[in-house]
Chains A and B, each alone.
Chain A
Amino acid sequence: MTIWWRRHRNWLTPALLLAPGLFLFLVVIIWSSLETFWISFFDWDGMGVKTWVGLANYRELLDDPQFYVSLKNNLIWLLMFLLAPPAGLAIAFLVNQKIAGMRVMKSLFFMPLVLATVTVGVIFTWFYDPTFGLLALLFRAFGAEAPALLSNEHLVTFAVVASALWPQIAFCMVLFLAGLNNLDEELIGAGRVDGARGLAMLWHVVLPQLTQVAFIAVAITIVGALRSFDAISVMTAGGPFGSSTTLAYQMYEQSLFSYRFGYGAAIATILFLIMAVFIAWYLRGLIRAEKGA
């Protein structure tokens, strides 16, 4: 036994350690994805008989105006969320200064990360309240009337994204702060001796050292924008008139409230394909970075 173990432990140890995670991944991710893909070809209410409909769900989806609203909103989420990495970087630079009291500032910026997304959503709902909200008070201080952001079909998505951006920026800030701590001091010194200062120093010496971190920040932000669901669920439930849904929310809505599991699965498949593009890009960058290091 021991001899057998000693001979094989080089591959058995990692295999045994990986097994639980691999098992869960296969069941929860791979198997579920494949099953979702399969269900997307059926008309199914989740309990009764499945009826094979072929590509009918996808055909319906292409004619569904709600799908295009979701797609457009996902794009808004994506573009606005991409503000998070640069904003996080700027704040990271700010709180990284050696100034008295910066520790407190750092903690304050860190705050939204310890809150659940749902909590942030609820807080922002109160904040946006056109009668009693903080926003209303601010507008009133200037003698204006606050817009009802969450009831305005043109503004609602922007308002929801703004609330979700808050923790996302804090997250990027933490990533960049870690990156700033790892800056090579001799490299900065070399830059100073070479006469680089201000923006030139930032661009040629500091930022190139943060590319790895920036890559991770952008990738996680993109995935976060695409799977956006919880903030919408808490703040608007997709309203008003379905004007703030995203693909993830529409999928949830169709499957669980309209009992159209086949249709929901079709939306999920489309969302999966969109994400796959970004994930492929992310993995390519990751592999390239590992080879380079």
Chain B
Amino acid sequence: MNSVELIGLDKHYGQYHALKSLDLTIEKGEFIVMVGPSGCGKSTLLKTIAGLETVDTGKITIGGKDVTRAEPGDRGIAMVFQSYALYPHMTVAENMGFGLRMARRPKAEIDVAVRRAADILRITEQLDKLPKQLSGGQRQRVAIGRAITRSPDVFLFDEPLSNLDAALRTQMRVELSTLHAELGSTMIYVTHDQVEAMTMASRIVVLNKGAIEQVGSPLALYANPVNRFVAGFLGAPRMNFIEGTTTEVGTDDALVQLAGLAPLRIALRQGATVKTGDPVTVGIRPEAFAVGGSKPASCPARVRLVENLGRETVVYADASPLVTSGSDTGTRNVTIQLGSAVAVAPNSEITIGFDPADAYLFGSDGATLTPAKPEIQSR
């Protein structure tokens, strides 16, 4: 049975179109992560599922029941908030049992549920403390515990880890994944952190300007983005985008001219709508670049900046006339990610290259023109 179904959700804030006719079906037990840039509507969408915001039109069902107009407390959901939103005057145990208390469950049952949740999250020692006596990570656990205690059909998480430091965030990420495996409940998780999305999601929903760009497993989205937006949003460092033109379009491939490179032959997917002379964008992931002349398409470049991260090296190189657009760094440099610590001196001249088979081609409307790539590369 479908756990959550969103049908044609539409919402305006005054003139602002926050959600644009959204459709999404979520299976029971899925871990859905919604990502997108600030203001893309991901938090609004989560709040409409929770019932904290209303929709203008559309329908929301949870567990097969129409809950579009139901109160948040009647939807069979629990939510973990960014600020934890613990009741400051209640002890940890009271916080966790509050939902059941409001549902007028017997005290013994509440105690059992609170104990069980506290055991799972290892916060049994903190049950009599007040939220202000706890650290950030412990508060986060209590907030999750409060959600577990209600044994909801669906867990909603609104950027729950964004107030934690890096080490704690990694730990909580692993714990949340474990918790999901243990409980088997449906979880919907909103974040702007793509590491959280890639590591925890069974499916990622990429949102942009109030609409869904793409839904799929993390690797599917990474290997086969449907458009330039998704390609640019997932992956750090970001994909290199290079503007060019098609000089010749065949049935299953096209010749693309980029400044500073010999024409590239790039495969086209079935039904790709592109004509000779169209402006197109070539996308190359930083890890698809190599230093040295080993790759089919190569050009000289001057190293501008090297980031040695130990396990990997990120090189920013000026390869003009080959220039990128819309990069993270705000420059027109090419970003190259090398798989190990490499000695590359700033300002040195190097040759960079890539295999056109690794390149993505995007039409002027942003849609991907290249055929599907394997999700796991055989190397």
Asked if A208 contacts B73 (CB within 8 A), the reply is: no
Interface membership of B79, Cβ < 8 A: yes
Asked if A187 contacts B102 (CB within 8 A), the reply is: no
Interface membership of A196, Cβ < 8 A: yes
Asked if B103 contacts A195 (CB within 8 A), the reply is: yes
Q: Which residues of A contact B78 (CB under 8 A)?
A: 193
Closest-CB distance, A208 to chain B (whole angstroms): 4
Docked complex Cα distance between A194 and B73 (Å): 5
Asked if A189 contacts B98 (CB within 8 A), the reply is: no
Docked complex Cα distance between A197 and B78 (Å): 16
Docked complex Cα distance between A86 and B204 (Å): 50
Interface membership of B99, Cβ < 8 A: yes
Which residue of the partner chain B has the closest CB to A192? B72
Which residue of the partner chain B has the closest CB to A189? B52
Interface membership of B132, Cβ < 8 A: yes
1/0 per residue B70-88: CB within 8 Å of A? 0111100111011101111
Interface membership of B51, Cβ < 8 A: yes
Docked complex Cα distance between A192 and B85 (Å): 12
Q: Which residues of B contact A202 (CB under 8 A)?
A: none
Interface membership of A184, Cβ < 8 A: yes
Q: Which residues of B contact A195 (CB under 8 A)?
A: 71-74, 99, 102-103
Q: Which residues of B contact A194 (CB under 8 A)?
A: 73, 98-99, 102, 146, 150
Interface size class of chain B, counting residues whose CB lies under 8 Å from the partner chain: 20 to 34
Interface membership of A190, Cβ < 8 A: yes
Closest-CB distance, A191 to chain B (whole angstroms): 8
Q: Which residues of B contact A193 (CB under 8 A)?
A: 50-52, 72-73, 77-79, 99
Docked complex Cα distance between A209 and B87 (Å): 9
Docked complex Cα distance between A191 and B95 (Å): 10
Closest-CB distance, B296 to chain A (whole angstroms): 54
Closest-CB distance, B85 to chain A (whole angstroms): 4
* Given A186-B81, A200-B102, A292-B132; A192-B71 close (CB under 8 Å): yes
Asked if B74 contacts A186 (CB within 8 A), the reply is: no
Interface membership of A169, Cβ < 8 A: no
Instruction: List 17 additional A-B contacts (Cβ < 8 Å) besides A190-B79, A192-B73, A194-B150.
Output: A184-B83, A186-B83, A189-B79, A190-B81, A190-B85, A190-B86, A190-B146, A192-B51, A193-B51, A193-B72, A193-B77, A194-B98, A195-B73, A195-B99, A196-B73, A204-B87, A204-B98
The 6 closest A-B pairs by CB, nearest first: A195-B73, A194-B99, A190-B85, A186-B85, A195-B102, A192-B72
| Residue positions of A touching B, CB distance < 8 A | 184, 186-187, 189-197, 200, 204-205, 208-209, 211, 292
| Residue positions of B touching A, CB distance < 8 A | 47, 50-52, 71-74, 77-79, 81-83, 85-89, 98-99, 102-103, 132, 146, 150
